[in-house]
Structure 1
Amino acid sequence: MPDKKFSVVIAGGGSTYTPGIVLTLLDNLDKFPIRSLKFYDNDGERQQKIADACAIMIKERAPEIEFLATTNPAEGFTDVDFVMAQIRVGKYEMREKDEKIPLKHGVVGQETTGPGGIAYGLRSIGGVLELIDYMEKYSPNAWMLNYSNPAAIVAVATNRLRPKSKIINICDMPIGIMDRMAKILKLDSYKELDFDYYGLNHFGWWTAVRDKKGNNLMPQLQAYVREHGYILPDESGTEKSWRETFEMAKNVYALDPETLPNTYLKYYLYPQEVVKHSDPNHTRTDEIRLGREKFVFEECAKITESGTAANSAFKSDEHASYIIDLCRAIAYNTKERMLVITPNKGAVENLDSDTMVEIPCLIGANGPEPLAQGKIPRFQKGLIEEQNSVENLVVDAWTEGSYTKLWQALSLSKIVPDAGLAKIILDELVEANKDYWPELKIGRPEPVLS
């Protein structure tokens, strides 16, 4: 492989995932050598707390790497080869509203699905486009690997509004599920599996899982999921909401026992069940604030105060490993088979060509080459086309400033019971997001709701 060392900027350097990404980069310098690592964030105070600890980690492990944390786009995006984008526009304050406003009305409150996902999508579109524009201005040959949520809506927007940009939208959820599949099969890592998969982001199905010798592992996995979902024998370190999600996969699987489902399908197929087990006053955001966020910032403070990361509890993770593998595939043109979000272009035979599907692709220097997944069944086709229409309506609403298109998106969402309730929730979301959304033009006439 070439001797070139790469320059990387993590956009969203204040994320709680950043220390794990940095550790994974440091663990893989033999495979993906780095000369420069930058953090970029528009919240300098939050980022600095993470950056101070990461600077110590880098100095102890790889002092030759140049490190910079900045809020200046020119500094952050100049002379970089890869942009790893993980921004959260509105941070946890707005995520909490995404979850709690719909739940107040008996509708699923979740950050990437239903009304909450739509609200977050309208905030994320502008933020991700801004990052693309910075990259193309200051480092036009760079690639962006975007895993900012909601990835499905962001992928539709970037494909439509920046169609020639070098951006690949990705998600770690299928990787996390495949890692569970590996544990179920008593394998060391998801990297020991080959697979076929199709869908939208957070909305897909595995049609094949094999080992590297080509042996079919689906029957063994399906038998396990039928009884347990994706729950593992030991879930002692797993948060309650995720344990419920992994267990409920068996209910989703029952709808199509020929495949294996992405866990997020529970929100679309069993929304009433999800709401029944949700607390409108204590959602996933509250769990994160009391869990991961508290841990990360306390651990960063310990490292900074002690001046060493020698006894740090931070660990590298599979999520970051996947991102690095993607960088390597692009940098070295390896044509590795990986799951990414990409224009369909006939890969799923009976879906529109411009649908932003999540499917296996060969990844090389020119980006993804989609792999054919054939014709999909009517059940999945109907669900995908409905959800894809929702996501396109959201992008329409953003580009046109259209209240009506946004109301249509919520009304079409399988998660929302009817258009009247969709309007009630939308009006609350409009008020909550007035500092983030484009101004929406309200059409007439309005319905008379009792």
Structure 2
Amino acid sequence: MMWKKHQEPHRHDGGLKTESCASGSPQYFDLKERIHTRVIELMDMSVVATLDPERLKGEVTALIEQVLAQESALLNTREREQLVQEVQHEVLGYGPLESLLQDPTISDVLVNTAKQIYIERAGKLELTSKQFRNDTHLRKIIDKIVSAVGRRIDESSPMVDARLPDGSRVNAIIPPLAIDGPILSIRRFSRDLLHLRDLEKRKSVTPEIGELLRGIVLSRRNVLISGGTGSGKTTLLNVLSEFIPSSERVITIEDSAELQLRQDHVVRLETRPPNIEGKGEITQRELLRNSLRMRPDRIILGEVRGPEALDMLQAMNTGHDGSLTTIHASAARDALSRVETMVAMTGLNLPTKALRHYISSALNIIIQVARLSDGNRKIVSLQEIVGMEQDVITLQEIFCFEQTGIDKHGCVQGRFKATGVRPHFVDGFKALGIQLSPSLFDPFHVHEV
């Protein structure tokens, strides 16, 4: 048994003998909190640590049922089963969020204070019936999540990024910054790793573009993936990493580890926030500089968002070809402007023309991704950086997606097509044994979706 010796569940005569505890009622929440508290008191943590997850789940369920049997609440069979499951989620998981996190069709869980939880499914937001008891309950779950990865959240540090054990990305913000109460955002990642063929089935990309993407990675081009929030940048980055040869040493650098690389030889680095005294912070820039001394074949930066842009460009320009990163931007040209702005954040006083030349010599490809109005994600543009014309970085688009309309079900209609431009970088494909279809860049070959 997993409860402490000399203790056993005892009967609670809390005045609920004749009072119904319908699901969602204040009495139901009181009962659940009382059972949860009693179960925690009875659990022997030294025994818990020795149990495997399945046995622990069974033992906790049995203990909850015994504690519940001592209560005088009026519950029907469905409510009783629901209560046992919800207390189990409180003890072993993340409370009201647990069932949502177990649903593979949900991509985002958005908690807008204790009484309002939205989810995103198939690109669309839905309001759920799930609720926390109050802000204190929500804070306990947030603390449980962030403490597991060595982070903290309090009034002196009211914002935090963290991750769940499955790699899902978490952001939390609490009062006084969040005016109405604690806010929690969870970006989930598929338990089953997506492959290029999965993106093709979802019509996010065509086989022709996929063929070119494979060649780009194998030929060690430096790639910048650009897009808005939730547009699929990290998903595409994971898919592209599939083509990195297993013989190469890959180093990943992220604010919150979420990449799911498939290779065996991967070194994962993650930033560290400052401690309660404001010391000990390790930034992406410091990790990037350190990674150059770790003999990387490729460096993957989860997202470039600050001064580390300069170090990334330096790495790309000094022999670390085949590097990949993402950036928040609405178009390829905007992505270059953002990189330029980030380099300026370092205080490096370079003439504009020299800086842009440095950027154009480091980056080879910009892939623009977007989430469309129907919730679907697509590669909407693939462009090559070909150099400079006076003070301007020159781009040429290779593939694009053109939206042509919306059908009666609200689904976006459009077509993928080549622009007819043959990129300069494919000239080296043949020497590497990378074969492309002769009609790959034919502008008359249109793929309707």
Fold shared by both chains (TM-score > 0.5): no
Question: Which fold has the larger relative contact order, with Cα–Cα distance below 8 Å and residues 6 or more apart in sequence?
Answer: 1
The interval holding the TM-score normalised by the smaller chain is under 0.3
TM-score normalised by L of structure 1: 0.26
Structure with greater proportional helix content = 1
TM-score normalised by L of structure 2: 0.27
Larger Cα-atom Rg: 2
Structure with greater proportional strand content = 2
